[in-house]
Amino acid sequence: MIVPSVKAIFYITSSKNEFDLGEVSRRLGVTPTRTRRKADFPPQAPAQTSWSLEVKEENAFSVGTVLDKLIRRLAGENAFENVEKLCTLCSDLAASPRFEIVIHMQSGDGPEVVLSPKQVLFAAAIGAGINITDAYGSMIVDIGAGMTDIAVLSLGRVIVSDAAKLGGDHFDDAIIRYLRRKHNLLIGERTAEELKINIGSAMPRAEQMYLDVTGRNLISGLPKLMRITSDEIYEAIDDPLTALIEAIHAVLEHTPAELAADVFDNGIVLSGGGARLSGLADAISTALKVDCRVADNPQECVATGCGLTLENLAEFGRYLNDGRRR
């Protein structure tokens, strides 16, 4: 059985200075996942002092989701203040900060394969049914919770790609802001997601839909039940939807002419949990004048692609040549 997982790690390291690991934890207000001193390394290995924070999810379908969780653990509510604190800390300790994201795939007792972030796009494309070995250009748009990865692939290579910091969570935030502004109604992320899933659409619906939600009236401070329409959700998500379409358009603009023509012929494939928004493929197709479709089980494309990669390493191995097996 294939068991994919996503791991995001933040390191503060120094190969020169033996800095105080406890001071890092105190000043950041975060408990590390792991710490290592120079004395912990074998004599033949390059030694360094290391403080690291790790977030890992089994069966995770979005790299962006896991990275967002890591950043939230690291930065908390006061992101700007804590980032400034982090920069000052690294300067004081003469240490270097860095992020690392890896995809782990393991099949039974077989070798573990670690994929780089770029290769996640290949996994999503494979899971979405795209032939990554084809000479024709194909476009994959993987929409996660916090990030959207966009790429044009051909002959097993990423020709043009971009990562936009927008995803399903940004659509939820837009709904929260809209209801607060229009109705003085404060709702939580879970309620916003329910509205998006149940009555949300990236295209105007032929028939109006409704959903009753309970939030807090910001004027009285008391709970309030309100009926929200699908037209309101359509209006609420306009900004992140426009940003997503513009990000896809920008990648197409930088795609070589022949491969761009292939994309116009073959269409755009959407994957990731964010692709399940009703009418999203139609909205993209209408705006860009390019056919667009949602992959089957889009939220599972990365996991499916990881499994297929392990089962067909002879076929896909040379295209995932910077992946590591161990």
Fold observed for domain 120-166+244-325: Nucleotidyltransferase; domain 5 (3.30.420)
The DSSP annotation for 276-324 comes to GSTTHHHHHHHHHTS-EEEPSSGGGHHHHHHHHHHHTHHHHGGGGTT-E
Delimiting residues of CATH 3.30.420.40 domain(s) in the chain: 120-166+244-325
Delimiting residues of CATH 3.30.70 domain(s) in the chain: 5-106
Q: Within the chain, which residues score under 70 in pLDDT?
A: 1-6, 45, 58-68, 75-87, 98-118, 309-311, 313-326
Cα end-to-end span (Å), the chain: 18
Q: What pLDDT, on a 0 to 100 scale, did the predictor assign at position 112?
A: 52
b/e per residue 221-248 (b: at least 16 CB within 10 A):
eeebeeebebebbbebbebbbeebbebb
Binning the chain into helix, strand and coil, the percentages to the nearest 5 are 45, 25, 30
The DSSP annotation for 214-276 comes to EEEETTT-SEEEEEEEHHHHHHHTHHHHHHHHHHHHHHHHTS-HHHHHHHHHH-EEEESGGGG
Q: Report how far Cα 40 is from the mean position of its chain's Cα atoms.
A: 34
**Tokens at 65, concatenated:** 């989701």
- Hey, which residues does 212 pair with through a beta bridge? 227
Q: What pLDDT, on a 0 to 100 scale, did the predictor assign at position 322?
A: 47
DSSP-derived letter for residue 52 is E
Q: What pLDDT, on a 0 to 100 scale, did the predictor assign at position 62?
A: 54
- Hey, which residues does 153 pair with through a beta bridge? 138, 158
Delimiting residues of CATH 3.90.640.10 domain(s) in the chain: 168-238
Instruction: Give the architecture (CATH level 2) of 168-238.
Output: Alpha-Beta Complex (3.90)
Domain 5-106 top-level CATH class:
alpha beta
Residue whose token pair is 């309620």: 191
Signed CA dihedral, 80, 85, 88, 89: sign only: negative
Q: What pLDDT, on a 0 to 100 scale, did the predictor assign at position 145?
A: 77
**Model confidence, pTM:** 0.70
Task: Count the neighbouring beta carbons within 10 Å of the beta carbon of residue 26.
Answer: 10
pLDDT tens-digit readout, 71-102: 777 766 554 456 666 667 777 777 777 666 66
Helix or strand or coil: residue 88? helix
pLDDT tens-digit readout, 138-188: 999 999 877 888 999 998 888 998 888 888 888 999 999 999 999 999 999
The answer to whether the CB of 66 falls within 8 A of the CB of 56 is yes
